[in-house]
Chains A and B, each alone.
Chain A
Amino acid sequence: MESIDRRRFLITTATGLAGILAAKMPPAFGQQREISYLCWNNFAPASDKKLAEIGQRFTRDTGIKLKIDHIAHPQQAAKYASEVQSQAGHDLVEMRMHFPWLYEPQLVDVSDVVAELEKKYGKALSSAQDTANVQGVWRAVPQYHTFFVGSYREDLFKKASLKVPDTWEDLYTVGKELKKMGHPVGIPISQNYDSISTASPVLWSLGGMEVDKDGKTVRINSPATEQMIEWYQRMYRDCMEPEVLSWTDASNNTTLNAGKSGWIHNPISAYIVARNSKLVTADGINHHRSLAGPHGRHETDVPRHIGIWKFSKNVEPAKEWIRYLLGKKEVYDEYVMSGDAFNLPVYANLQDHPVLKTDPKFAALKQEGVQFHCYGWPAPPSAKVQQITNEFILPNMIAKAVTGTSTKEAVAWAEKEMKRILAG
C-alpha cells in the first residue's frame, strides 16, 4: 500500500510540476511587450488614479502591458541614481525640472515625439524647453508644469481694504499692514526649494541673476542682488516673523491654511488642501497673478517631463505610451482635468485650458504676461548650476543677511561658494 501511495504521489506531483512549467513557458510567437513607468506621487491623488485608468486603456488598445510605479519626489534622486548605476529598472521615468540635464547621457533622444506634439499644440513653454532640451536635443518630453503664484487671504485684504499687490514693492506695503493685523507674510528663508522659488523671481525682476547665460560667469555680486537683499531685510523686519527661518516646503501651506499667514508664494496646493479638507480658511483664499519688478514679471516654474532610459529594451513601445498619453488631445485633456489644476499643460496652444474654469479661484492661473523659468535661469541648468541650487546658496545668503551679517559679506560669501562649485 505504501508503494502505491508513493507512486501516486510522484505521478500527481510530476503532472503538477509539468503543468506549472508549461504555464510559465512563454509562447514562441506573439510575446507580449511590457513597459514600466516610474512617476511621482502626484499632488492630486485623483490624477494618479486617472493615469492608471489611461494605462489600462492603453494596454487594451495596443496590447502593450504597462506597469506604473509611484515614488515620492524627495526619493527620486536616490532611485534614479541606483537605476542608472545598475543599468536596469524602469523604461520610462518622470524627469522633474532640470533633471534631463543631469541624466543626459542616459536618456534617449525623443526629439521626434516632441516635434509631433509641438506641431499639434504649439511650442513648449520656454521653461520646459530650457529644462528638457539639452544642447539642441530633446532628452525628455514635456508633460505638464506647476508654477508658483501669489496665494493670499482675499477676505482679510477686503476687510482691511488692501490693494492686491502687483509688484514686489506693493507686497512690502500690504505686508506691513498684514503683520499689524496679526497675519504676516510667509516667505521661507531656509534650506528648502520654496525659499529659492521666491528669491529667484525677486532677483530676476530686479534684473539680477546667479550665473550668466554662458553658464560660467558668476553674476551674483551685483547691485540687483543688493537690492534684493535689502528688500528681504525690510520684509523680514516689518512683514514676517522669525519662524520663516525654520520652514520646510510644507510650512507655508500650513500657515496659510491654519489662518495665520495673509500671503504666501506657492503653487495652488495650499488652496486645494484647504478646499478638500473643508478648512475654515478655504473660502477666503484666492490667487493673483505673479508679481513684477522693474525688469519684468518673472516666475518660478516646475515643469515635469517624461524621459526614456537608454538601457531600456522597449524604447519604441515606450514612445507609443507617451504618444498615447499626450499625443491624443482627448486623453491629454482628460489627464489634465483630473489634476485639479496642479498640472497644467505646457504647450503654447493649450494654455487657456478648461480645467481653469472648474473653480473661480483658478482664474489667476492664466498668468498673462508672465515669463516662466526654472531654477538657475538664465544659465543653462548644467550639473554645476544645479549644484548651486541644491546647496541652497541663495537662501543661505539671504538668511545670513537678515540675521545680522552685512549685505556685502553675505554676497561675497555667496559669490565665493558659487565660484567654487563652478570650478570644482
Chain B
Amino acid sequence: MAVGSVRVDPAAPRPGLRLRELLDHERFLGPAFVTPALLLIVLLVAYPFVMAIYFAMSNAFIGRPSHFVGLRNFVALWESDSFRQTFQNAFVFTGAAIALKLVLGITLALLLNQQLWFKRMIRGAVLLPWVIPTALSTLGWWWMFNSLYSVVNWTGLALGLMDPPGPNWLGQKYYAMTAVVAVNVWRGLPFFAICILAGLVSIPRELYEAAEADGAGPAARFWHVTLPLLKPVLAIVILFSTIFTFSDFNIVYVLTHGGPINSTHLFATLTRQIGLESGQIGQGAAISLYLFPVLVFVVWAQLKFVRRQVY
C-alpha cells in the first residue's frame, strides 16, 4: 500500500459511501423513488393520451388516414340527440350512485365498526360484490332483472309489494336508470364501506370519550367528532368513485345497451357505439374527452379540499 493512495479524508469518500450518502439525501432519493412511476405513466399513459387528444381533434376513422379538424367533433356532438341525452344521464347516474354509496357506505362502516358476532364472516360477506368478476356479475344482474325470470319481480309479487307483472325494469325510462344505479351501488358499496371503516378505526377513542363526558349523545358525537375526522377519507373515496362511476361501461352495456331510447347511455357506452362499432374514432374520442373537463373539475375541488385538511 503506497502512501497517499488510500485516502482516509472524509471530504472525498469512496464511491460506495457516496452512493449511500446520496440515498440519504432527500433531493436525490425523492426523484429516484418517483421515477419508476413516472416512467410508467409517461410511456404507457401520456403517449396514448396525447394520441387520444389528436383523435378527438381529427376526423379519424378506423384504418383510414386522418386530418386535423380542430374542435369540430366537440361542437358537432351537441347536435346529436343521443349525446345530449348521454351527457344528462352521466350526471344523473353518477350523482345518484355516489350519494347512495356515500350514505349507505357510512352507515355500513359504522355498523361494521361495532363489536359483532361472526365478525369475520360478516366483513367477508360485505366484500362479495367486489370479488365477482364484473363482466360476469353484470350478467347475473341481467338475469335478475330479466323480464321473464326476474327474481326481483318474483319476490316483490310474492311479498305482495308489486302488482303483476311487476315493473318493466329494463324497458321503461326511469326504471332502467334505477336498475343501473342499483347495480353500480351494489358493486361500489364494499369499496366505500371498507375505506370508511379504515378511517373510522383511526379516530382516537379519547375524542369520543371526551365528547361523551361533555354530554354529547350518539348523534351529536357522530356529527361533531366522527364526520369531521372522516372528511379526508371521504374526500379520497368520493374522488376515486366519481372517476370510476362516470366512466362506467359494463353495467349499461350489458343491461340496457344504452336504452330504452338512449335514456341510460353513458359516455363510455356511447363512445363504443359511435367510436368503435361505427368506426368513427374521432367522434368517439371526442365523446370520451368530454369527461375530461368534468373530471378535472371534480379532482381539483377534491384536491383543494384534501390538501386543506391533511397538510
Contacts and interface: CB of A to CB of B under 8 A. Distances in A.
A touching B, CB within 8 angstroms:
yes
A101 B148 CA distance: 38
Contact of A251 (B64, B147, B262): B147
Contacts of A191: 256-262
A77 B277 contact: yes
A354 interface: no
Contacts of A102: 62, 278-279
Interface in B104-131: none
A396 B148 contact: no
B48 to A, nearest CB: 11
B277 A244 contact: no
Given A246-B260, A248-B257, A390 B278 contact: yes
B162 interface: no
B184 interface: no
Interface string A73-97: 0000110110011000000000000
A245 B79 CA distance: 26
A103 interface: yes
A105 interface: yes
A391 B82 contact: yes
A362 interface: no
B180 interface: no
B171 A190 contact: yes
Interface in B165-189: 165, 168-172, 176
Nearest to B258: A191
A255 to B, nearest CB: 6
Given A103-B63, A251-B147, A424-B76, A245 B172 contact: yes
Interface string B53-64: 000000001111
A176 interface: no
A58 to B, nearest CB: 28
A77 B260 contact: no
Contacts of B273: 390-391
A81 B170 CA distance: 30
B276 A396 contact: no
Nearest to B281: A81
A420 B279 contact: no
B94 to A, nearest CB: 21
Contact of B63 (A105, A246, A254): A105
A387 B148 contact: no
B271 to A, nearest CB: 11
A256 to B, nearest CB: 11
A67 interface: no
Interface in A241-285: 241-248, 251, 254-255, 258, 260
Nearest to A420: B79
Contacts of A84: 62-63
A400 B63 contact: no
A392 B259 contact: yes
A247 B147 contact: yes
Contact of B64 (A105, A190, A241): A105
A417 B165 CA distance: 34
B259 to A, nearest CB: 4
A243 B171 contact: yes
Nearest to A78: B276
A198 interface: no
A41 to B, nearest CB: 15
B163 interface: no
Nearest to B253: A74
B168 A242 contact: yes
Contact of B62 (A81, A258, A392, A424): A81
B54 to A, nearest CB: 13
Nearest to A400: B261
Given A383-B61, A392-B259, A400-B261, A81 B172 contact: no
B74 to A, nearest CB: 13
Interface string A192-208: 10000000000000000
B278 A245 contact: no
B80 A383 contact: no
B241 interface: no
B80 A258 contact: no
A196 B146 CA distance: 21
A386 interface: yes
Q: Which of B79, B259, B262, B283 has the most CB of A within 10 A?
A: B259
Interface in B213-228: none
Interface string A378-394: 00000100110011100
B294 to A, nearest CB: 23
Contacts of A245: 168, 171-172, 260
B99 to A, nearest CB: 26
Contacts of B277: 77, 390
Contact of B80 (A242, A246, A392, A420): A420
Nearest to B82: A391
Contacts of B61: 383
B236 interface: no
A174 interface: no
Interface string B68-105: 00000000100111100000000000000000000000
Given A243-B147, A245-B171, A391-B278, 9 more contacts: A103-B279, A105-B63, A191-B261, A242-B168, A245-B172, A246-B170, A386-B279, A391-B82, A392-B259
18 contacts: A78-B272, A102-B62, A191-B256, A191-B260, A241-B165, A243-B168, A245-B171, A246-B147, A246-B170, A247-B147, A254-B146, A383-B280, A390-B274, A391-B274, A396-B262, A399-B260, A400-B261, A417-B80
Interface of A: 77-78, 80-81, 84-85, 102-103, 105-106, 190-192, 241-248, 251, 254-255, 258, 260, 383, 386-387, 390-392, 396, 399-400, 413, 416-417, 420, 424
Interface of B: 61-64, 76, 79-82, 142, 146-149, 165, 168-172, 176, 256-262, 272-274, 276-281, 283
List 9 A-B pairs, minimum CB-CB distance, nearest first.
A246-B171, A245-B171, A191-B259, A243-B147, A246-B170, A387-B278, A106-B63, A84-B63, A191-B257
